[in-house]
A and B are shown apart, each in its own frame.
Chain A
Amino acid sequence: AQSVAQPEDQVNVAEGNPLTVKCTYSVSGNPYLFWYVQYPNRGLQFLLKYITGDNLVKGSYGFEAEFNKSQTSFHLKKPSALVSDSALYFCAVRAPDQTGANNLFFGTGTRLTVIP
């Protein structure tokens, strides 16, 4: 069965500093990996995805993530955090080679707080 782990419930970072939100996954076959951001009382906004190709993917709002197959990780990063980046971040995985292949399995979310 596929699963996603976000080991940190909360990440605090000073404005202007680099940020990392961690994600590891477990899936049979090749994973499709996604990051979504959720602002209070809002829906999930797509940030970026890894399907195939270059392990470093760039997404919206200056975010990027690196797919590491050996470590089964897909950590979200940004070189310089903004206060407006404060939100709840979800990592998600699809397992296209398996039954139920099209739905997303989400991690438990990481709340990012950027301190001015």
Chain B
Amino acid sequence: GIQVEQSPPDLILQEGANSTLRCNFSDSVNNLQWFHQNPWGQLINLFYIPSGTKQNGRLSATTVATERYSLLYISSSQTTDSGVYFCAPLGNKLVFGAGTILRVKS
């Protein structure tokens, strides 16, 4: 099956800093989702992005399907951005990476 690698595994930021999270996947996919898992465990949808770039406020995502990677950009980070970020290529089901644990310090 498809393999998903996320980097970095852990990231600590000072509030206001920018960051880039990366997701590599081993096979072509129909689509890809990015999620933020908050401290209460809820998976929050960030992006549904098969290719190209999408923006939502301080967050944006780019997927280059031909090169099998996706990037999540977080600008002007806030403490509420803390949590775990997952990418998940989508075929008939989602295949999750191990996640990036983000801690934003005030």
Do A and B make up one complex?
A: no
Residues of B participating in the A interface, judged by any CB pair closer than 8 Å: none
